Structure 1
Amino acid sequence: MTGNPLEVPGVDLALWGKRRGLPGPYPVVCHLLDAAAAMGVLWDLYVSAAGRRHIAAGLGVDDERARRVLMFWAALHDVGKVTFTFQALAEDAFPELVGYPDVPGERIRHDQAAHQWLGPALRQVGYRARSLRDEAFMVAQLLGGHHGRFFELKRDTSDPLVYFPSLGGGKWEQQRQALLGAVHSVLGEPEPPEKRMDADVAGLVCGLVVLADWLVSQDFFVKGRLKARPNANDAASLKAHLVESTRQVPGLLKEAGLGRLRLQPGTFEDEFPFNPNYLQRSLADALPALVGERPGLLLITAPMGDGKTEIALHSARVMGEACGVPGIFVGLPTMATADQIYERVMEYGLRRAIDPAPLTLLHSMAWLNPVYSRDVPPSGEPDAEILTGEGARGAWTAATDWLQARNRGVLAPFSVGTIDQALLAALCGKHNMLRMMGLSGKVIIIDEVHAYDAYMQGLLRRLLTWLGRLGVPVVLLSATLPRQIGHRLVEAYLLGAGHRSPIEVTAGYPGWLYADAESGRVTSRALDTESRSLDVELHEVPIGKDGRAERSSVFRELLKPLVETNSGCVGIICNTVAEAQQTFEDLQDWLGKSFADGTRRPQLQLLHSRFPAEERAEITRTVVESFGKTGKASGKRPTTAAILVATQVVEQSIDLDFDFLISDLAPIALLLQRAGRCWRHPHNPRPSWVSRARLAVLSPVSAGGRPAVPDSWPFVYPAALLRRTREELAKLATAPIRIPDDVQPLVDAVYDEDFLDPNSQMADDDVERIADEQVKTFISQQVTIPEPADVTSLHALTSSDIDEEVIRTRLGADSARVICCYQAPSGRLFLDPSLRDELPMRGSLDKGRFTKAEVRMLLARMIPVPAAWVRGPDPKDPHLVAWRENAHLRDVLLLRHPVDGDGRIRPAEFGNNSFVLSPQLGLVRLACR
């Protein structure tokens, strides 16, 4: 029926929409009007200006009409609760329903009921519903997906009661019709949109519906509205309920920490307490004119330590202000790098935010971060899905309790996290469109773009295509990015923005490139800066019979000046944890003998990923204090000799400065990243035995003296990249690497896909590497959502049944989590080797559930290990049922160290592997049995 508004029939207030935990049933019509109110307030106070423009344009209407349409749709999301299946769930409320027929047979979920029923029903309010491609069915599919997954559109939906009898006829159908008419009337009879929306617009709207639903489903809000529920079902009573909910919802947004980020305008000098360098000055001067009022992608390539993070934040503010996208998300490759950048971004927010700016830290262990969490509720807790209403903390950038629950952190106006938190938006997983909506209101900064393998690059390209379609500004950062990867990333973004023609992407190094989403024009700028030299030495180390490189003698030779003068800070970066542990033991033994006369020996520290989480965090803090930017000023930088033995955990985003760096051979891009930790800060005094930045690279050779790769390294890096790197470094002879002049040529030479000699061993390795990358790229294509232009049904966005934990795990880096414990002769398990602190089998809450403090205490002892190490039968204790019911603990495995009656601790065994947790070395894997 078009042009004739529905009369408001008698909506049955006994039909409940919320019941659990409430003193009485809450009418479904009230919940739907609450959701409509929340949608209107979100449109006014949360959705970015760019997001409102994009949605309104996608609907073919103006801003105000788009607002009314979205409120109407939000008011229909739970219409599927008017079914026998749903109403029968409340044993106390169901008997209050009079005249409703029983519906035997197959049960139907309420979200699926909305999906199946709404398409034909929307004809009554003027929507086209002749074919599945008409807007009525897109709206039905959108609303049916409000629990995170979209259902498939069926061909025969003209009369849903015929094909889906579980919807229920008779009074069930009458009340669904009544509900549709009531909310349509109360909301002012909004007209249908002028055109069928595309998938990108539908995805954003679905995300907003989910958010509106979550906000008004909070227990304290529903309890308050229940007390004032309408006593009559007339239009005036329902309208009054809507008005009052609309008055209260802004408080829900404030309490949840949802709003638009507002940063003070100003120059780079206003934002940061130092003068801009060459890179920062160039972008600060050129970017405003380039951006105009349009979105785009900015790619910044510059050496390590050249202030990319600061200019990225400045550029993000400029780009966001220009095109109406106020928020910021910073994505990084690892949890450790995210933790480091989080504190820097927090300081920026404290200085520049005009209003409170909740800053979320997004990764699986964020709530263990002491700066961030304080009292963060882990997502696996019983109350994680319902808010307590306790409110935000007083700190200017503190994330609210609401934002720290599962799936919500990306909705904050200001976020830092691991890149997978953004990539989940582009994967066929639950609630991906909620995440996409959260990202759409932010400028997306992706740091360390070079650090991702072919699988992650594939996921990133698909995300960039969607961001280009949505008009979301993007900033990509890298110190060592191969040109071909940079080209593909820019091309993916412009593809989403509608530019399918091949483009020429040439980014200078150092320099930057800006791709305009509207015109497709690419502007690049190569910059001149003072060159600095890095001395690079190749030192051959033999591979022993056990397949490991024997490096002790080389270490002693290289460290002789440090020992003789007892001065200087040296970093040693190993490719594997096992080699770092062995190196630490060798050096500890050697230094002990060298300083046996009682002379103060050099400090020796070890840092890698296989310490218990709390210990690793403390070691990292100590390392940053000692070797970081503020080490000298704080008096914590060592004044005598000091050595840090570490793995790749110090390679990215951790600001360290060494006088001399020793590294295992690694692909050139990563070697240069490591070298960025050498002579990083000019204010630090240097020992007399080193005159400029110096990198010693340990190059393994076989017994015959030929270049070779230790048995464990191909699992870390492709053999081809190691061989190519070695050859490029050998070409340098005694010449230093000039930074930045030589960086891009070296990176491109090693990662080049052209092969000159197809019969050589090098070419064989290259073919193997390319084949591996093709497999990873193929797998990435299997798990990503289609390009937005290719989506004809929203079902394609969530059709794959992919486990989120599988998605989050990097291909080839499958990991498990373990906690070491100690088993007494009686069989009881303890957390400490002295058998004093018993391992809690159950939590202190009812039914053995764990408090957040108890979960935090246990996960502070968590250690990540390769999953292959703990495959096979898991000797699970039958008493650990409570662990299996907790989201954070259910997948944690125990490594039990038997403790004999005399106190002797024996190795923990799991499958064919044995382990020892050493206070100095962390978790050590012994030889396989």
Structure 2
Amino acid sequence: MRIETMIVSNKLYYRYWGKARPKSGSKARYHLLPYHCLDVAACHQRLWAVKHGLLIGMAEHLDIPPNLLSNLLGFFATIHDIGKFSFVFQRLQVIEGAPLAAVPRREGMQARHDQIGYLYWLHWVRNRPDVLEKLGDTSVLELLGGVATGHHGIPPLDSRFKPRMAFTDEGCEAIDSFLTWAWRFWHMDECIDGLSKTDLSVGCWRAMSWVQSAMMILADWIGSDASVHKYCDDADQNLQTYYRRATRRAEQQIDKLGLSGVPAARRFSCATALLKFASLTPLQAFCEQVALEKRPLFFILEDITGAGKTEAALVLVARMLSNNYAGGFYFGLPTMATADSLFERLQPQYEALYESGPKPSLVLTHGATKLSEAFTDSIGLPLGPQDRGESDVHTATSWCNAFYADNKKKALLADVGVGTIDQALLAVLQTRHQSLRLFGLLGKVLVLDEVHSYDGYTAELISCLVQVHTRLGGSTIILSATLSTQLRQQLLDAFYTAQEQTAPKVSPDAGYPWVTYAGQGPQSFHETSVAPRTSSRRTVAVTPLHSLPDLVAVIREAIDAGYCIAWIRNTVKEAIASFDEIKDKLELTDDQVHLFHGRYTMANRGKIQTEVLRRFGESSTGVERRAQVVIATQVIEQSLDLDFDVLISDIAPIDLIIQRAGRLQRHRRDIHGARATGLTRDYRPAPTLFVLMPDPQKVCDQNWLMPDLQGTGAVYGDWANLWLTQQALLEKRRIKTPEDSRWYMDAVYDKPSMNPPVSFIAMSDRQIADRLKGLTLARGNRIAFENGYRQGPNDNWLNETPTRLTEETTILVLAEIRDEELYLLHGNMNNAWEMSSLTVRSADFCGLTPEVENRWSVKIAGLKVRHKRERSDDVVVPLKEVGGVYKGIGIDINMKMKVCIYSQNRGCEIRSG
């Protein structure tokens, strides 16, 4: 950028502070506003220098020279905090004896500085006749002004405004002077001339605004680090000289943070070398050989559980990286357990995708003990509280502290991210800092696994994510055991809508395994079947169970034969009850029966998951597995490589039944259950899936699932779906793969041959109505990408927006009472707060009783301060320990007293007080 040697203007803007919480040892009591603005501008320009290729690409799309685009964006970064010139902001901290502007006593508008700054910018730019004459309107400049001033993560809203509502006469003169200085400094007259020669009506500016928003958020956070950009209250500094020094600081700072580049992708050679497999499955071989058309690309890979879909996706990812179609990838999975499992599988493989040199960053969105050391070291910002007032939860420094402590957001900025799909979905929801998540996905391959497992609300958000990701040039890979025809079409529609084209119709008679793939234009659309993996060809017998005594007999017989057996229950409450019942009735020891569900603290859950994988995973021995019982919930039905000799499942929707069957005799073993090389078949008895279901002769009324499956009726409210699943299972009495996989989906979802009972149709209709409500809510909650980063009158931007329509939940943080003090249950671990937390339904437990709150509020506040969780809404539950069992008192959503009981082997139980 060309910097003028001298820009003349008055010095009123030196009379306003921008930061007023100096770090310990700082000589200055405050940081002047113009200097902070230039700190952020310098960081912003350095970030764009790092992403120079992206800047070039955006300039081409916008039909504007890159240097003009850089100056244009630099100008807006410089004016991002002009709202702080208002007396509404300046009165938040009166610094005695400082040569700063006087603050009037009169009332001002009730708004934050970001909103005030946006409104003043609109007032200023709309009154520039020279700009109006050249551009015809100021819509693009208004949009970019909203992006800059909306740097706290939510776009500002246009409203009625007069400068006097927030500014003194001197304040108006100061802000006008600063805007004029910045206008000249960044050669905005040349930028306006350049803009006047382009088509300003195209949607490219709106698309670009989401990317620029993320850059502004990052720049503001990085530029607010007072350990680098030290406070300066010297009003005699020349702004051009100050900017040059800030630029040098920003370069060193961003390089140190590890944001300076992406490791080079390794040239793809062959899939066997990448995966280190002796041979490929047909699906993996297809992914190695299929022609990759011009990006963006879209794939749906459907194959049975255990067929190597993840590895097939990695082959596609490696080829896209090698072709320079992407710089990284993000795996989004349905649950924390599945993300943990995939993270373990990716660790030894992901570096093979990149050239030797700096280690590419890999990060998990939770379970912080497993974070990549190279990545966590690269983001260790020494931050402290520096912003004053305006609710600390929205200041740049507090958000920066929270962001760099938030592994969920870090995963999206890493080269390779693994986490729940929710973290990616937040990129397209009206939630604070969504643009930063969207930026994190930019230039990555988005891989979404187990897509069949989501409800209509989340499926709609997934479609929106595919559309937006495609619009920004990203490629997507969808993995699933089986998708309905409707969902395949919905996802394909999203991909082609992003290209402003009509999607082809997917085949209603798809084979299995099945691949759907597309590139630019309908002519690039293809569907094809692939051969099944040889080892995946099998027949699982389905045996119905209609009573608990029959089920207990099956478990007893399996134990007597030395087999390991799992029972998948549909609720935590029923899993715990069944754990007690099976243990007592069969007189099993603690070493024989295991409980695994989702209501443990993260620390205990991780230990249990590791133990379950050790005993029942691919490498487990016959001795470890012998006569073992696991009572679990849905946590084991997806992406955990578990292998049981015998399996029981509560009745559930057919796609989940098929998924659960994948945990039955998953690997070839000898008669003793041991893994051995060279086995040509499995020597255990033929696999049988036992399904606990109502007696088919039972009356189909509200008691149909009583008493043994009461929780199932609450979890899966579409009883017509459950009834159709039962009828299909009773008709086939088997699951033959791959032949039966598509037949079952048709029988329950796409082409049912029977009508469910009338009494269940009403329940199904309610489910359909709920799904439609979910679709409406999803469409209302998602961002209007096509409108750009701006807030409309009907938008509803929040700090948190749900990614799934589930019952309201509460995060409990368990704290033990010792010597009248509170200590986190796992306080000796890294990330102790997360490790001591778990999630429950708010209907069961959502807070403390007034008595407990009054007794422990000060201690709880101190605990939050010690663990840097002052902003947290998590409920800290004080617990008394007696004999290894912890108990605490709270209330449910109806203010009824509840008892929280926790133990390491049973997890959390909520009982009436």
TM range (shorter): 0.7 to 0.9
Q: What residue number does 1:730 align with?
A: 730
Mean CA deviation greater in 75-84 or 695-704 = 695-704
How many residue pairs are counted as aligned between the two chains?
A: 845
Q: What residue number does 1:514 align with?
A: 517
Q: Equivalent residue of 2:191, what SS?
A: coil
- Alpha-carbon separation, structure 2, partners of 1:667 and 1:758: 14
Q: Are the equivalent residues in 2 in contact too, given 1:591–1:602 (CA < 8 A)? A: no
The correspondence for 2:857, drawn from 870, 875, 880, is 880
Letter in 2 for 1:719: W
Q: 1:753 to 1:211 in 2, by over 3 A?
A: farther
Q: Equivalent residue of 1:92, what SS?
A: coil
1:537 matched to 2:542? The reply is yes
Q: What residue number does 1:663 align with?
A: 649
1:794 matched to 2:790? The reply is yes
Shift of 1:70: 1.7
Letter in 2 for 1:724: L
What whole-Å deviation, never above 9, does each CA across 1:162-183 have from its counterpart, x for those lacking one?
Answer: x231343543233223322333
Q: What residue number does 1:280 align with?
A: 284
Q: 1:905 to 1:140 in 2, by over 3 A?
A: closer
Shift of 1:670: 0.6
Q: Equivalent residue of 2:594, what SS?
A: strand
Counterparts in 2 of 1:550-565, with a 5 A limit?
551=548, 553-565=549-561
Counterparts in 2 of 1:447-466, with a 5 A limit?
447-466=449-468
The correspondence for 1:66, drawn from 64, 69, 76, is 69
Letter in 1 for 2:566: G
Letter in 1 for 2:723: R
The correspondence for 1:894, drawn from 877, 881, 886, is 877
Q: What residue number does 1:777 align with?
A: 775
Q: Are the equivalent residues in 2 in contact too, given 1:424–1:432 (CA < 8 A)? A: yes
Shift of 1:887: 4.7
- Alpha-carbon separation, structure 1, partners of 2:409 and 2:132: 34
Shift of 1:896: 5.3
Shift of 1:866: 1.8
1:153 matched to 2:142? The reply is no
Q: Are the equivalent residues in 2 in contact too, given 1:510–1:527 (CA < 8 A)? A: yes
Q: 1:819 to 1:298 in 2, by over 3 A?
A: same
Q: Equivalent residue of 1:715, what SS?
A: helix
Q: 1:865 to 1:376 in 2, by over 3 A?
A: farther
TM, length-normalised to structure 2: 0.83
- Alpha-carbon separation, structure 1, partners of 2:384 and 2:572: 36
Shift of 1:200: 2.2
Q: What residue number does 1:863 align with?
A: 838
TM, length-normalised to structure 1: 0.82
What whole-Å deviation, never above 9, does each CA across 1:663-712 have from its counterpart, x for those lacking one?
Answer: 11111111111111122223666559833333121212389587932322
Structure 2 runs not aligned, ≥5 long: 388-400, 674-681
Letter in 2 for 1:41: R
Shift of 1:723: 0.9
Q: What residue number does 1:179 align with?
A: 178
Q: What residue number does 1:579 align with?
A: 574
Shift of 1:90: 4.1
Shift of 1:607: 0.8
Q: Are the equivalent residues in 1 in contact too, given 2:517–2:525 (CA < 8 A)? A: yes
- Alpha-carbon separation, structure 1, partners of 2:623 and 2:402: 36
Q: 1:907 to 1:137 in 2, by over 3 A?
A: closer
What whole-Å deviation, never above 9, does each CA across 1:500-541 have from its counterpart, x for those lacking one?
Answer: 466446664213222224557322221012351232223232
1:922 matched to 2:897? The reply is no
Q: Equivalent residue of 2:219, what SS?
A: helix
- Alpha-carbon separation, structure 2, partners of 1:870 and 1:167: 44
- Alpha-carbon separation, structure 2, partners of 1:689 and 1:560: 21
The correspondence for 1:33, drawn from 31, 38, 51, is 38
Q: Are the equivalent residues in 1 in contact too, given 2:650–2:693 (CA < 8 A)? A: yes
Q: Equivalent residue of 2:567, what SS?
A: strand
The correspondence for 1:203, drawn from 200, 210, 213, is 210
Q: What residue number does 2:392 align with?
A: none
Q: Equivalent residue of 1:868, what SS?
A: coil
What whole-Å deviation, never above 9, does each CA across 1:140-179 have from its counterpart, x for those lacking one?
Answer: 222221112222224x7xxx6xx23134354323322332
Counterparts in 2 of 1:413-492, with a 5 A limit?
413-492=415-494
1:711 matched to 2:710? The reply is yes
- Alpha-carbon separation, structure 1, partners of 2:85 and 2:590: 76
- Alpha-carbon separation, structure 2, partners of 1:674 and 1:128: 64
Q: Are the equivalent residues in 1 in contact too, given 2:485–2:506 (CA < 8 A)? A: no
Shift of 1:765: 4.5
1:607 matched to 2:614? The reply is no
Q: 1:858 to 1:7 in 2, by over 3 A?
A: closer
- Alpha-carbon separation, structure 2, partners of 1:802 and 1:39: 25
- Alpha-carbon separation, structure 2, partners of 1:353 and 1:290: 19
Structure 1 runs not aligned, ≥5 long: 388-398, 543-550, 594-599, 822-829, 832-836, 844-849
Q: Are the equivalent residues in 1 in contact too, given 2:364–2:408 (CA < 8 A)? A: no
Shift of 1:647: 0.9
Shift of 1:462: 1.9
- Alpha-carbon separation, structure 1, partners of 2:282 and 2:221: 47
Q: 1:44 to 1:347 in 2, by over 3 A?
A: farther
What whole-Å deviation, never above 9, does each CA across 1:337-365 have from its counterpart, x for those lacking one?
Answer: 222222323333344444232223225xx
Letter in 1 for 2:581: D
Counterparts in 2 of 1:4-153, with a 5 A limit?
7-11=7-11, 12-22=13-23, 23=26, 24=28, 25-46=30-51, 49=53, 51-52=54-55, 55-92=58-95, 95-97=98-100, 102=104, 104-107=106-109, 108-122=111-125, 127-128=131-132, 134-153=139-158
Q: 1:30 to 1:321 in 2, by over 3 A?
A: farther
Shift of 1:474: 1.2
Q: Equivalent residue of 2:840, what SS?
A: strand
Shift of 1:782: 2.6
Q: Are the equivalent residues in 1 in contact too, given 2:87–2:168 (CA < 8 A)? A: no
- Alpha-carbon separation, structure 1, partners of 2:292 and 2:884: 70
Shift of 1:218: 1.0
Mean CA deviation greater in 527-536 or 119-128 = 119-128
The correspondence for 1:496, drawn from 489, 494, 498, is 498
- Alpha-carbon separation, structure 2, partners of 1:361 and 1:905: 30
Letter in 1 for 2:821: P
Q: What residue number does 2:617 align with?
A: 628
- Alpha-carbon separation, structure 2, partners of 1:817 and 1:400: 17
Q: 1:871 to 1:640 in 2, by over 3 A?
A: closer
Letter in 1 for 2:219: A
- Alpha-carbon separation, structure 2, partners of 1:558 and 1:247: 72
Q: Are the equivalent residues in 1 in contact too, given 2:9–2:177 (CA < 8 A)? A: yes
Letter in 1 for 2:350: G
Mean CA deviation greater in 687-696 or 411-420 = 687-696
Letter in 2 for 1:696: F
Q: Equivalent residue of 1:796, what SS?
A: coil
Q: What residue number does 1:826 align with?
A: none
Letter in 2 for 1:458: E
Shift of 1:868: 1.0
Q: 1:106 to 1:601 in 2, by over 3 A?
A: closer
Q: 1:167 to 1:772 in 2, by over 3 A?
A: closer
Shift of 1:103: 7.5
Q: 1:803 to 1:402 in 2, by over 3 A?
A: closer
Shift of 1:855: 9.4
Q: What residue number does 1:741 align with?
A: 739
Q: Are the equivalent residues in 2 in contact too, given 1:444–1:472 (CA < 8 A)? A: yes
Shift of 1:602: 7.6
Q: 1:702 to 1:586 in 2, by over 3 A?
A: farther
Counterparts in 2 of 1:407-418, with a 5 A limit?
407-418=409-420
- Alpha-carbon separation, structure 1, partners of 2:112 and 2:382: 23
Q: Equivalent residue of 1:484, what SS?
A: helix
Mean CA deviation greater in 505-514 or 527-536 = 505-514
Shift of 1:913: 4.6
What whole-Å deviation, never above 9, does each CA across 1:253-278 have from its counterpart, x for those lacking one?
Answer: 23323232433222323322113221
